[in-house]
């Protein structure tokens, strides 16, 4: 009876030992796997493309001066009509042309001290704005506007309000392809890193998309836009 008890205790000890050994092996393997999954690499992928702008906003400013306010308004209205006619004759649709109310300044009300009296009491500034998708037509007219200048219309420019603005409004249409391209570029960089470090590239751990930027290609070609996005992707690595 005593021998049976000792044999049972021995077998129990053997089973406990084997169980603990197996548990230790499993825990050790799991720890190695966890450690492997902790290894990762973060890379950036770029997508950069050029697109033509699809909308142009062209403010045309001109001024007139005089001492008779009513006559000044009449001249301003006449010049506005001449500018509008010129634009339509050169291919701009009527619906693409708007004219603001003229901004009139009374210089006599701005005199201080003993300043000399100005030659003309009133000045009027008028802005005719072209908002068009026909960018080629608008750009061709810009150089021809001097024809009206030779007829006595005093055009102004150079300030912020008179700058021509080119817009690219199709960003949502090109976003999917550019994001895919940026992600592919990021994966190529990650694969090169994994190969150089004798590792295997795993699944994506995290990813983030940067902001899209739209800028003129250069100062001489503002109607050509450079669209850019950078994606940041983190991949798992394993041996």
SS (H, E, C) 100-151: CCCEEEEHHHHCCCCCCCCCCCEEEEEEEEEEECCHHHHHHHHHHHHHHHCC
CATH value at residue 198: 3.30.110.170
Contact 77, 95 (CB under 8 A): no
Same domain, 87 and 111: yes
pLDDT category, 172, cuts 50, 70, 90? Answer: very high
pLDDT category, 156, cuts 50, 70, 90? Answer: confident
pLDDT category, 20, cuts 50, 70, 90? Answer: very low
Token readout for 170 is 């199709």
Instruction: Count up the domains in the chain and report the number.
Output: 3
22-32 exposure pattern, b = at least 16 Cβ within 10 A, e = fewer: eeeeeeeeeee
Q: Domain range spanning residue 133?
A: 55-167
Same domain, 60 and 147: yes
- The end-to-end CA distance of the chain, in Å, is 56
Highest mean pLDDT out of 21-30, 101-110, 152-161, 203-212: 203-212
38 or 86: which carries more pLDDT confidence? 86
Instruction: Give the pLDDT confidence score for residue 157 in this predicted structure.
Output: 74
Same domain, 34 and 98: no
Same domain, 78 and 26: no
Mean pLDDT (whole number) for 172-198: 93
pLDDT category, 113, cuts 50, 70, 90? Answer: low
pLDDT category, 238, cuts 50, 70, 90? Answer: confident
Considering the chain, what is the average pLDDT of its residues?
A: 84
Same domain, 180 and 138: no
86: DSSP letter = H
Query: What helix, strand, coil percent values describe the chain, rounded to 5?
Result: 45, 35, 20
Q: Which of 41-45, 114-118, 176-180, 228-232 has the least mean pLDDT?
A: 114-118
Same domain, 134 and 181: no
Same domain, 61 and 142: yes
Contact 53, 224 (CB under 8 A): yes
The pTM assigned to this predicted structure is: 0.74
Answer with the one of 167, 201, 230 that is the final residue of a domain.
Answer: 167
- Rounded to the nearest angstrom, the gap between the alpha carbon of residue 126 and the centroid of all alpha carbons in its chain is 32
Q: In angstroms, rounded to a whole number, what is the distance separating the alpha carbons of residues 137 and 168? A: 17
Contact 123, 63 (CB under 8 A): yes
Same domain, 65 and 158: yes
* pLDDT over 50 at 107, yes or no: yes
For residue 191, give the 3-state DSSP assignment.
helix
Same domain, 50 and 61: no
pLDDT category, 24, cuts 50, 70, 90? Answer: very low
Same domain, 63 and 159: yes
* pLDDT over 60 at 235, yes or no: yes
pLDDT category, 90, cuts 50, 70, 90? Answer: very high
Same domain, 90 and 157: yes
Question: Residue 61's beta-bridge partner residues?
Answer: 127, 156
Same domain, 161 and 72: yes
Q: Which of 8-12, 58-62, 87-91, 144-148 has the least mean pLDDT?
A: 8-12
Question: In this structure, how many other beta carbons lie within 10 angstroms of the beta carbon of residue 157?
Answer: 12
Instruction: Give the pLDDT confidence score for residue 6 in this predicted structure.
Output: 55
Q: In angstroms, rounded to a whole number, what is the distance separating the alpha carbons of residues 39 and 85? A: 69
């Amino acid at each position: 009876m005593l021998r049976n008890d000792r044999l049972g205790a021995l077998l129990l000890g053997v089973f406990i030992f084997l169980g603990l050994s197996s548990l230790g092996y499993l825990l050790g393997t799991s720890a190695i796997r966890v450690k492997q999954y902790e290894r990762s690499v973060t890379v950036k992928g770029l997508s950069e493309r050029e697109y033509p702008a699809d909308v142009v906003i062209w403010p045309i400013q001109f001024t007139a001066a005089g001492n008779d306010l009513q006559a000044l308004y009449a001249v301003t209205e006449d010049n506005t009509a001449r500018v509008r006619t010129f634009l339509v004759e050169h291919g701009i649709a009527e619906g693409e042309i708007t004219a603001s109310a003229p901004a009139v300044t009374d210089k006599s009300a701005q005199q201080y001290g003993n300043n000399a009296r100005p030659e003309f009491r009133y000045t009027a500034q008028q802005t005719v704005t072209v908002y068009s998708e026909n960018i080629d037509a608008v750009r061709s007219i810009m150089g021809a506007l001097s024809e009206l200048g030779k007829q006595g219309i005093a055009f102004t420019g150079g300030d912020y309000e008179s700058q021509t603005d080119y817009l690219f409004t199709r960003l949502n249409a090109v976003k999917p392809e550019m994001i895919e391209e940026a992600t592919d570029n990021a994966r190529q960089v990650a694969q090169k890193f994994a190969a150089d470090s004798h590792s295997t590239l795993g699944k994506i751990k995290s990813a983030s998309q940067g902001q899209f930027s739209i800028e003129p290609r250069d100062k001489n070609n503002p109607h050509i836009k450079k669209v850019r996005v950078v994606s940041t992707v983190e991949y798992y690595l394993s041996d």
